[in-house]
Structure 1
Amino acid sequence: MAGGTTLPRRALGRRMRELRAAAQKSQLAAGLAIDVSKQGIGRLEEGRPVRISRVQFRELLGFYDADEDVKAEVLGLLQEIRAARGDDSNFWWRPFADVINPNFNHFISLESAASRITSYRLTLVPGLLQTRAYRRWIVEASDPTLSRSEVDHHVEVVAGRKRKLSEPGFSFEVLLSECVFRHQLGGPEVMLEQLRHLAEVARLPNVSIRAIPFDAGTHPGLVLGSFVLVEFPPLHPGRIPEAPLIFTEGFTGGLFVENDDVVSTYRSSLDELRTFASSAEDTIRLIETIADGYDSTRRMV
């Protein structure tokens, strides 16, 4: 693809690699099934351009015994790739209720493939660290029209994502404004549970949670707003990893940024934000102190 975002193509490659592995098929067997070279299947799975028709994709999905939902998901990604070809930038705004492919969540796909995630948040706890009650309040506040079953589905999706924290080789760095601990989302009881969970998770060896206190002064995060840096492992030993990207979330959608210069600027901002952040140990003490305040408030109610 000469221009435009590579995100849908990379997502398609990861998904097809997962499907082939689940079907226990080799790249050679997959290629023979649709009259494509083994190298062509490899390029597909690496998110690189390859000439495979829509008909061949359907045949390959049949070879992998994919169900109808998975077929719709993959064909939706193909449509996204075609739609992205006209975009000459490396920025891509994707509404959450995307009409192109509503069955595919790109951020969750990126999160599941990541080897390292660095998250800076101004107001909310990152999804990987949210309790069910905290997430439920966010979902209900964001869209009061959702049914109870729809809310439950959103909550369970986030709960399932937490398995990522125990994945070998994965690390998670979190920089949180002190606002995150003091905004009383859902009330004292919800916040008490959430903060106790944060204090527990902060002690995991692959998780770093550091607060940027109110008295830290002016820092770049106040201008940048919340964002996530997502980094990936090499697909094969000795190969270059997938390019990292930045994700920023708005009320109606998410902005994925792949431009190298912009990603580098965000990296530099993270380096500066770290100089304003408290130590991991001081952050745990801050969390526990604020949690004690919520506990006292809860007891008084």
Structure 2
Amino acid sequence: MAGSTLPARALGRLLAGHRERAGMTKYAAGQLVDTSQQTVARIEYGLKSRVSQLWLNVWADAYRVSADERKQMLGLAQELATSQKNWWRAYADELKPHFDYYLGLEESARGLSVWRTNLLPGLFQTAAYRRAVAWTEAPEMPADQVDKRVEMTVRRQTRLNDPDFTVDAILSKAVILEEIGGRGVMSQQLKRLAEVSRQPNVSIRIVPFDARRHLGSRVGSFAMLEFPKLPATGQTEPPVIYIESYTGDLYLEQEKDVTQYRDAFAEIGRVALDPDTTRQLLLSIAKEFEA
């Protein structure tokens, strides 16, 4: 695994299920290993990057799990212990609260479907566009701090070089018309978007203003992440819907929620321009910004 988020999430899901099946509270589970119920909750939510195998064996005994279930738990813990250090740790001071969790999911995902009504996804932003966004959010931010945020965005975009990682992005036309950073910045940004859209693992489509009615403005911007099988369990973790807002982020993984957003994405896609027409539109507007 490229990061620890996915195995941590899978392990937490298993532990919560076994604990609930055993009729035990988080407080009682914490007492077994001399820790707090808050720590147990963090483990079950997949927010801990290391989980003691001693704790897991104690819980396995208390929850009366089968030999195969114990093996799965320990296997996931081993994946956590041997996973590579997350590259974004070096940028921890520049991450908004809990965004590292999203980066872990994105790093582990095999597919990303994203609908945007405002800013471009970070995976597509040029350095100049990202810098303009940062200074809009915090006009007094020192230049070296902005540079670090730009550096993090550029580092994140190396994910697009993985042919096994697919991105299907649908953008409202408003996203490519708003002059973030000025006309020159937008011209270069749209050219970059057209270039990225030629990659075989990337699809970019625009929804024009005259498209028939659809759910895009109703549901707002969101991303859906889908994952490969985990080696320790042979199972695929459920998709996650990620909704970013100004004051905090939301993660949805209940099947009914995921289905609603998946259906909404499909409906929006039906009124979007095809990738080739989108590319022509991007280059046309880029030329207009140069005039």
Q: TM-score, normalised by structure 1?
A: 0.70
Alpha-carbon distance in structure 2 between the residues aligned to 1:291 and 1:184: 11
Aligned partner of residue 118 in structure 1, secondary structure: strand
Partner of 1:41: 74
Alpha-carbon distance in structure 1 between the residues aligned to 2:163 and 2:53: 31
Distance change (3 Å), C-alpha of 1:45 and 1:195: farther
Could you tell me how far 1:200 is from its partner in structure 2?
A: 0.2
Alignment of 1:177 with 2:210, yes or no, is no
Task: Report the identity percentage.
Answer: 34
Alpha-carbon distance in structure 1 between the residues aligned to 2:44 and 2:189: 34
Contact between 2:107 and 2:159, CA under 8 Å: does it hold in 1? yes
Alpha-carbon distance in structure 2 between the residues aligned to 1:110 and 1:7: 16
Partner of 1:127: 122
Alpha-carbon distance in structure 2 between the residues aligned to 1:147 and 1:44: 40
Contact between 1:172 and 1:207, CA under 8 Å: does it hold in 2? yes
Could you tell me how far 1:219 is from its partner in structure 2?
A: 1.1
Residue by residue over 1:115-157, the C-alpha shift from the partner in whole angstroms, topping out at 9 and shown as x without a partner, is 0000100011110000000011111111223222221111111
Partner of 1:77: none
Partner of 2:209: 214
In the alignment of these two chains, the number of paired residues is: 237
Alpha-carbon distance in structure 2 between the residues aligned to 1:124 and 1:138: 9
The AA in structure 2 aligned to 1:186 is: G
Alignment of 1:117 with 2:150, yes or no, is no
Contact between 2:226 and 2:238, CA under 8 Å: does it hold in 1? yes
Partner of 1:26: none
Alpha-carbon distance in structure 1 between the residues aligned to 2:57 and 2:267: 52
Contact between 1:130 and 1:194, CA under 8 Å: does it hold in 2? yes
Distance change (3 Å), C-alpha of 1:7 and 1:236: same
Contact between 1:31 and 1:38, CA under 8 Å: does it hold in 2? no
Alpha-carbon distance in structure 2 between the residues aligned to 1:237 and 1:279: 39
Alpha-carbon distance in structure 1 between the residues aligned to 2:79 and 2:256: 23
Alignment of 1:1-301 (within 5 A): 1=16, 9-10=45-46, 12=48, 15=49, 39-44=72-77, 97-98=96-97, 105-236=100-231, 239-296=234-291
The AA in structure 2 aligned to 1:106 is: Y
The AA in structure 2 aligned to 1:265 is: Q
Aligned partner of residue 228 in structure 2, secondary structure: coil
The AA in structure 2 aligned to 1:44 is: A
Distance change (3 Å), C-alpha of 1:139 and 1:287: same
Name the Cα RMSD after superposition: 3.3
Structure 2 residue runs without a partner (length 5+):
1-15, 21-25, 27-40, 59-69
The AA in structure 2 aligned to 1:248 is: I
Distance change (3 Å), C-alpha of 1:41 and 1:248: same
Structure 1 residue runs without a partner (length 5+):
18-29, 48-59, 74-95, 297-301
Residue by residue over 1:155-204, the C-alpha shift from the partner in whole angstroms, topping out at 9 and shown as x without a partner, is 11111011100113110000000111110111001101100000000000
Aligned partner of residue 255 in structure 1, secondary structure: strand
Aligned partner of residue 215 in structure 1, secondary structure: coil
Contact between 2:163 and 2:201, CA under 8 Å: does it hold in 1? no
